[in-house]
């Protein structure tokens, strides 16, 4: 026998009404007194002994009692409908008719649901299940809304290293092997480079009243690539057309067959300007320029020359700048040494020594070779500077700067305030537009004044969102700078000599005495020196 909750049924004998009580069975629950009173009141029963009624309702045996006259006529099976707060579910409970009253059929149930506006997701099987085995005072789920299916943004899967940050190998004796590097991604003709996983737009849902429930907005993407790349028919995969090297530059896949210079860059070659990677087997002589869209690798030395790369610059035998050499890289600069030169790197700088040079890195400056040193000049890093030795006994003016600049901090705070203000305006405008949209979707019409006002709100919302996008882009970039600033430090693995100026963000200090194995870091509103 299936589980049955407790319930009661009214028998009408002439003008009197007798209530028959049926206790729960097989783990069922007792009928709530509050619900019983609501039911009896609806049928006109108010003049009876409530204490006696409560006692019999909670009895473990079948009971009867006289409860008065009521309406005096037979009544049909009773159905109560409860809708969930999210309008996604209609739960029905039934009470039996009077002993000779009529039962509901499926048409009665569906009409009752429809009269309440419930038109979607009605479960015919659940209704049939109720008819097959009527259980009173029991919840039946007769209607279910459809939840929206959440989609996902388009994604691009890359099949090569999109962030080449492999550093030179540090040998056991403390030296750095600048001739054994593997930071360029080689590809063969036909290699798969990237695959687009298209956006899934998702699917709208509906509540039981038939109102659509939107899914979240998703963003599409497309594969972006330069020459030497082919794309398939459905534009979801790209492959290399040549043997060469691949890099991701500004979200664009770039493949080039490397330009090989078999000897020096000098009068025999002239200046080099190439859209891909450049490999120079010899030296770059003074006065010449090498410009590459990808990486520049020089097996020899760079003299008083100008090198500019969209990727990395690797100089295996060092830089003799002679006070006029300059290197610019959007990524990393790796060299055996840097002497009398200017260096600008978007990523990190890795070298064996820096001598009287102006070195700038968006990331770290690392002078980790066993005898590595920084002597004279200025070294700036968005992250940290790490060196074995800084300065000298002769007191050569040496300046080290790390961390974010003060003006960037002010801009960061300003952008944060602006973004908060725009979001507040958007949150005020959006509900008003939604109200207008709901009104129009129900067949309403707007007079000229309200139509102009709605259009003004839409234009303002569009302008606010465009402005917000630009501010967020700048804000996120500065946020990355702030993260670098938090970890900004100058680490000295061996000795720092007197006369070295260390600046961390807007604060600075100049060493008065020799110190060893120490770290300079911003703490408590000043530059503090602690032991490593």
CA dihedral 471, 475, 476, 478 (to 10 degrees): 140
Q: What's 171's DSSP letter?
A: P
Q: What's the per-residue H, E or C state across 324-393?
A: EEEEEECCCEEECCEEEEEEEECCCEEECEEEEEEEEECCCEEECCCCCEEEEEEEEECCEEEEEEECCC
Please tell me the number of Cα atoms within 13 Å of 43 on its side-chain side: 29
List, for the chain, all residue ranges whose pLDDT scores fall below the cut of 70: 1-2, 164-170, 176-184, 405-409, 482-486
Query: Residue 295 in contact with residue 184, Cβ under 8 Å?
Result: yes
pLDDT at position 165: 56
pLDDT at position 322: 92
pLDDT at position 170: 67
Q: What's the per-residue H, E or C state across 121-154?
A: CECHHHHHHHHHCCCCCCCEEEEECECCECCECC
Going by C-alpha positions, the residue among 331, 335, 360 that lies closest to residue 347 is 331
Give SS3 for 84: coil
Please state the pTM of the whole predicted model. Answer: 0.52
Residue with tokens 């490397």: 258
Query: Residue 132 in contact with residue 2, Cβ under 8 Å?
Result: no
Query: Residue 94 in contact with residue 38, Cβ under 8 Å?
Result: no
Both tokens assigned to 77: 């099976």
Rounded Cα distance, 143 and 125, in Å? 11
pLDDT tens track for 403-426: 875 456 578 879 999 999 999 999
Mean pLDDT of the chain: 89
pLDDT at position 51: 94
pLDDT at position 318: 95
């Amino acid at each position: 026998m299936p589980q049955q909750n407790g319930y009661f049924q009214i028998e009408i004998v002439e003008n009197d009404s007798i209530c028959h009580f049926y206790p729960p069975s097989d783990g069922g629950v007792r009928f709530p007194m509050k619900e019983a009173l609501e039911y009896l009141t609806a049928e006109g029963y108010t003049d009876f002994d409530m204490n006696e009624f409560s006692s019999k309702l909670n009895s473990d045996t079948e009971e009867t009692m006289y409860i008065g006259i009521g309406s005096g006529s037979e009544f049909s099976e009773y159905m109560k409908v409860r809708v969930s707060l999210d309008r996604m579910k209609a739960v029905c409970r039934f009470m039996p008719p009077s002993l000779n009253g009529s039962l509901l059929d499926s048409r009665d149930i569906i009409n009752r649901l429809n009269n309440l506006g419930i038109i979607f997701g009605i479960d015919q099987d659940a209704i049939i299940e109720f008819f097959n085995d009527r259980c009173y005072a029991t919840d039946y789920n007769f209607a279910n809304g459809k939840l929206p299916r959440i989609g996902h943004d388009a994604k691009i899967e890359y099949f090569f290293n999109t962030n080449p940050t492999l550093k030179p190998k540090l040998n056991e004796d403390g030296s750095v092997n600048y001739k054994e590097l593997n930071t360029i991604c080689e590809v063969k003709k036909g290699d798969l480079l990237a695959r687009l996983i298209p956006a899934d737009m998702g699917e709208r849902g509906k509540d039981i009243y038939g109102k659509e429930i939107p899914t979240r907005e998703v963003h599409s993407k497309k594969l972006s690539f330069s020459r030497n790349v082919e794309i398939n028919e459905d534009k979801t995969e790209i492959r290399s057309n040549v043997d060469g090297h691949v890099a991701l530059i500004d979200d664009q896949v770039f493949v080039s067959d490397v330009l090989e210079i078999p000897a020096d860059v000098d009068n025999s070659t002239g200046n080099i300007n190439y859209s891909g990677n450049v490999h120079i087997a010899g030296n770059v002589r003074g006065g010449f320029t090498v410009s590459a869209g990808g990486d520049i690798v020089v097996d020899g030395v760079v003299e008083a020359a100008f090198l500019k790369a969209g990727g990395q610059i690797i100089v295996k035998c060092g830089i003799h700048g002679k006070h006029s050499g300059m290197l610019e890289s959007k990524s990393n600069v790796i060299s055996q040494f840097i002497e009398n030169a200017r260096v600008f790197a978007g990523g990190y700088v890795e070298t064996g020594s820096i001598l009287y040079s102006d070195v700038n890195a968006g990331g770290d400056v690392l002078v980790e070779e066993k005898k590595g040193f920084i002597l004279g000049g200025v070294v700036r890093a968005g992250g940290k500077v790490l060196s074995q030795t800084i300065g000298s006994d002769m007191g050569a003016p040496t300046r080290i700067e790390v961390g974010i600049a003060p003006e960037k901090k002010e801009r960061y705070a300003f952008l944060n305030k602006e973004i908060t203000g725009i979001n507040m305006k958007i949150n005020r405008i959006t509900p008003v537009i939604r109200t207008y949209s709901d009104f129009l979707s129900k067949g309403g019409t707007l007079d000229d004044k309200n139509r102009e006002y709605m259009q003004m709100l839409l234009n303002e919302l569009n302008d606010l969102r465009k402005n917000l996008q630009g501010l967020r882009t700048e804000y996120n970039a500065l946020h990355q700078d702030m993260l670098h600033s938090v970890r900004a430090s100058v680490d000295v693995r061996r000795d720092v000599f007197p006369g070295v100026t260390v600046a961390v963000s807007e604060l600075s200090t100049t060493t008065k005495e020799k110190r060893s194995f120490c770290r300079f870091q911003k703490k408590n509103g000043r530059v503090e020196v602690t032991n490593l």
